[in-house]
Each structure stands twice: as C-alpha cells, then as structure tokens.
Structure 1
Amino acid sequence: MFVTSAFAQESAPTVEGGHTGTEGDTHSGTGVPAETHGVFPPFDPATFPSQLLWLAITFGLFYLFLKKVVMPRVGGIIDVRNDRITQDLDHAARLKGEADAAVAAYEQELAEAKTKANAIGQQANDAAKAEAEAARKKVEAALDQKLGEAEARISTIKANAMKEVGTIAEDTASAIVEALVGGKASKAEIAAAVKSVAR
C-alpha cells in the first residue's frame, strides 16, 4: 500500500524505550510490520520490461481482435452498402430508361395521332369538296335539262305560232283581197303570196 513519507512519519508509533518504529518493527497492538517507503509501480524502472511485454501482448490481442472481428464486420457493412448503392443506381438508371422510352413512345403516338387527325381532316375536306362538286354538277345538269326542255317548248311554241301566223296571214290576205277586189283568190295563190312576203 502506497503511503507518502510525511504520512508515514506522522503515523509512526513510539514504542517503549523512547524510539520510533523502523523497518522490522511492528505496530503496537496489531502485529503488522511497518510499511517501507517505495515508488508507484507503473513509474518504477524495474517494472518497465514487464510493462512493455504486457503492452505488446495487449496491443497484439487488440490488433488481432480488430483484424479478425471488427474489420470484417465493418468491411461487410461497407460492401453491403456499396452493393445496395450500386443496385439503387442501377434501378434508378433502369427507371430513367423506362421513363425515357415512355416519353419517346408518347411523343411518337402523339405525332401519329396528329398525322391521323390531319389525314382525317383532309379526307373530310376532300369529301366535302367532292360532295359539293357532285351537288353542283347535279344542279347544273338539272338546270341544263330544264333549260333544254324550256328551249324545246319555246321552239315548239314558236313553230306553232309561226304556223298560226301563216294561217292568220292567209286568212287576212284572203279577206283583204275580197274587200279590195271583190272576188275570192285561191288558197294556193294566197299561201304563195304570204310565203313570198315572209321570205
């Protein structure tokens, strides 16, 4: 047990005969020999070799513990995290590729839809134009037919009128001849006279 020198001096008991206890003496009433003055063992140069030996043994054991137990676990954790990060990056890249493909497909479908819409609009426009043209031609054909029929009727009416005009002229000429001359002229003569005047 480590005891400072001052404490040792104060606690040294006096024995009979008037002297203090020294080495080999015992405390009165206990029979325990008096402690000697010494150095704290870790600072004692005599214990340095054993301390260095135990330090090397402890450091070696600690190094082996780190190498065999701690470092493999830490390395395993790091490897697992690296694998997980790599998998996450691969998954993210795959999702990005799928998203890019989906966007490209959407843009392609949108372009195809626009093309189809333009084609449908053009077809509808062409169909409307064709229907309008067919209706116009039909109306023109009906008008041409009606015009032809009207011209035919006009020609018939004109021909009938011309025939009636000839008859009226012959009747009028016959009446004039009878009134002026007082005699009747033959129908052939009157018709020839009317025809010569009509020319």
Structure 2
Amino acid sequence: MASETHDAAGTASACVDAGGGAIGMPQLCGEWMGNQVFWLVITLIVIFFILSRIALPRIAAVLSERQGTITNDLAAAEDLKVKAQEAEEAYHKALADARAEAQNIVAETKAEIRAELDVATAKADAEIAAKAAEGEKAIAEIRANALESVKDVAKDTAKELISAMGVKADARSITSSVTAKLKG
C-alpha cells in the first residue's frame, strides 16, 4: 500500500501522493466530487443572491430607465413629426395665400396700368383730335388762300394775256370771266 496515502483522519486517498500533492487533476478526482459539488452549490447560491439582490435590480432599473427614455423619445419624435406636418401644412397654406395675393396684386396693377393707359390714350386722342382740327382749319385756310391766290394769278394772267394780244379789257370783266370759269 505504498501508493495509497492517508489524510489527516488516517484514511487513504487515491488523489493525493505521499507528499500531500494532488495526482492529476484534482477536479476529476472521484473522491472529492461530493465536496466540489457542495461548494459549487454554495457558490451558485451566493452568486444568485448577490445577483438577485444587487446586480439584477440595478440592471432592471437601467433597463426600465432606458425603456422610459426610449418611450419618451418616441413620443417626443411623434410630437415633433406632427408639429413638422403642421408646419409644412402652414407653409403650403402661406405659400398658396402668397401666390393668391401676388395674383391679386398683378391683377390690380394690370387694372391700374390699363386705367392709366386708357386715360393717357384718351388724352392723346383728344390732343390728336385738337391738332387734327387745327390742321383741318389750317388746311381750309390754306385752301381758301390758295383759291384766292389762284383767282388773283388767273386774273393777272388773263390781264397780261389780253394785254399781250393787244386788246384792252377792264378789270371788272376779267374778274367776272375768271370767277365764271372757276365755278365751272
């Protein structure tokens, strides 16, 4: 029995050498398995209580806080989305109103320009009519003067022709002959 060793109680162990050191891997020693399972269970129970009393509540609080933050952020994002849609609708309405106002301004301006143009046209037509009347009057005067000048020229020409022929005619007979010829 030289390969067997005795522990403090005096029992022999196959997992310990003569110097008290472990032979092979002590975790795999069948004699120690019960002791290892006992300490494993104790360790797991301690870890469980530490985790369940300290770590898991903190993790749950962090997760709850994150969930609350995410929920609040989603609600805020939804509110902002609604506000953005309202702002976009207000923008489109303002744009449509501005376009309508611009059309009204254009129409009013066109009407004002048309009215001013009509007044200017009427004024120009009146001036043209006045100048045309003056021109007609001047033409009539020129015609009357021209007719008188033609009569005078015709009289002078007739008098000179008659004198050149050697016939003596008085001014009254020459005037009556020229007047008769001019009337047709």
TM-score normalised over the length of structure 2: 0.53
Instruction: Please identify the structure whose Cα radius of gyration is greater.
Output: 1
Could you tell me which residue of structure 2 aligns to residue 95 of structure 1?
A: 80
* Aligned 8 A contact 2:159 2:169 in 1: no
Structure 1 gaps of 5+ residues are 12-33, 45-50
Cα shift at 1:108: 3.0
Aligned residues between the structures: 157
Q: Compared with structure 1, are the counterparts of its residues 155 and 70 closer, same or farther at alpha carbon in structure 2 (3 Å cutoff)?
A: same
Counterpart residue identity of residue 157, structure 1: I
Q: Compared with structure 1, are the counterparts of its residues 82 and 112 closer, same or farther at alpha carbon in structure 2 (3 Å cutoff)?
A: same
Shifted more, 125-134 versus 85-94: the winner is 125-134
Give 1:5-154 correspondences, 5 Å limit. 6-8=4-6, 35=9, 37=11, 74-124=59-109, 127-128=112-113, 131=116, 134-154=119-139
Could you tell me which residue of structure 1 aligns to residue 180 of structure 2?
A: 196
TM-score normalised over the length of structure 1: 0.50
Deviation sequence 1:63-98 (CA, Å, 0-9, x none): 888777766555444433322221111111111222
Cα shift at 1:99: 2.0
Inter-partner Cα distance in structure 2 for 1:42 and 1:162: 156
Cα shift at 1:153: 0.8
Shifted more, 74-83 versus 153-162: the winner is 74-83
Structure 2 gaps of 5+ residues are 14-30
Percent of paired sites with the same residue? 28
Shifted more, 144-153 versus 123-132: the winner is 123-132
Cα shift at 1:158: 1.4
Q: Compared with structure 1, are the counterparts of its residues 184 and 7 closer, same or farther at alpha carbon in structure 2 (3 Å cutoff)?
A: closer
Inter-partner Cα distance in structure 1 for 2:73 and 2:86: 20
Counterpart residue identity of residue 148, structure 1: A
Secondary structure (helix, strand or coil) at the match of 2:128 reads: helix
Cα shift at 1:144: 3.2
